[in-house]
């Protein structure tokens, strides 16, 4: 981030939506809209050119949809087009879109009818490297995302027993503060463990850590 401001790229095929978001964000001291894209292909190009911190991405757009654009920007399965994190913003909250966004490497999922303050907060959360899933889009979706039999070995040698405990709590949706309380450690220590897990498991953000916890069998999907 430059000068402490969060650089945002808006990607939506509706000019009125982009205009409204721009006005909303530019009225805040810590957000700066650096560009607008009317389709997914343009979003990918501008993400590479402008290096935003966060791309606010609509899902249904012409030429290239938001999920494919997210995949290309985050480099899921290929070299990333940008180090930007993607906050998917849509009117559609059906499971299939959430799954697609998570699989594509999105760091957050929000719906267009959420309160404006909540939307701004979502951008800040994603920019800070955390992950956000809008109210109503529950952990059940992540559980379903990794549904199926867990791997035979629940333990991974690359992480310590303490890190495994932390990962389990992350998978249960616990915040750093709650993890610290549960394990009788400081919040700073909890954050350090999470940071190491991100590196060791090559996870982009907290959403991917939750998915890893399910994949490793550390957390059981709800019935």
Domain spanning 6-137: which CATH class is it, in words? alpha beta
Nearest CA to 6 out of 126, 99, 176 is that of 126
Per-residue model confidence (pLDDT) at position 75: 82
Strand partners, 110: 89
Q: Where along the chain do its domains lie?
A: 6-137, 149-215
* Residue 59 in tokens: 């899902």
Question: Does an H or E element contain 176, and which?
Answer: helix 176-183
Per-residue model confidence (pLDDT) at position 142: 58
Residues in the chain with pLDDT values less than 70: 1-3, 76-82, 92-96, 130-157, 221-223
Q: Cα separations (Å) of 27 from 6, 8, 20, 188, 201?
A: 13, 13, 11, 33, 38
pTM for this structure? Answer: 0.70
Per-residue model confidence (pLDDT) at position 183: 95
Per-residue model confidence (pLDDT) at position 146: 57
Radius of gyration of the chain (CA): 17
Per-residue model confidence (pLDDT) at position 31: 96
Question: Does an H or E element contain 98, and which?
Answer: helix 95-103
Q: Which of the following CATH numbers is that of domain 149-215: 3.40.190.10, 3.40.50.620, 1.10.10.10, 2.10.260.10?
A: 1.10.10.10
Asked whether 97 and 57 are in contact (CB, 8 A), the reply is no
Output the CA angle 68-72-73, nearest 5 degrees. Answer: 115
Give the Cα separation of 9 and 29 in Å (integer): 16
Per-residue model confidence (pLDDT) at position 82: 67
Per-residue model confidence (pLDDT) at position 221: 60
Per-residue model confidence (pLDDT) at position 153: 46
């Amino acid at each position: 981030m430059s000068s402490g401001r969060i650089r945002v790229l808006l990607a939506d095929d509706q000019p009125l939506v982009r205009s409204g978001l721009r006005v909303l964000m530019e009225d805040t001291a810590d957000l700066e809209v650096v560009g607008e894209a009317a389709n997914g292909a343009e979003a990918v190009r501008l993400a590479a050119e402008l290096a935003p911190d966060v791309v606010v991405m609509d899902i249904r757009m012409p030429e290239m949809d938001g999920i494919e654009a997210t995949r290309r920007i985050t480099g899921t399965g290929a070299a990333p087009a940008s180090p930007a994190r993607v906050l998917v913003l849509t009117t559609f909250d059906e499971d299939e879109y959430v799954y697609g966004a998570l699989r594509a490497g999105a760091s957050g999922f929000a719906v267009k009818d959420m309160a404006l303050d909540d939307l701004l907060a979502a951008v800040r959360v994603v920019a800070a490297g955390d992950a956000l899933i809008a109210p109503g889009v529950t952990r059940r979706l992540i559980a379903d995302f990794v549904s199926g039999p867990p791997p035979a070995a629940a333990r991974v040698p690359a992480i310590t027993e303490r890190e495994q405990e932390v990962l389990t709590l992350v998978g249960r949706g616990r915040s750093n503060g709650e993890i610290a309380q549960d394990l009788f450690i400081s919040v700073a220590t909890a954050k350090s463990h999470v940071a190491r897990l991100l590196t060791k498991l090559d996870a982009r953000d907290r959403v991917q850590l939750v998915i890893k916890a399910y994949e490793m069998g550390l957390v059981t999907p709800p019935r």
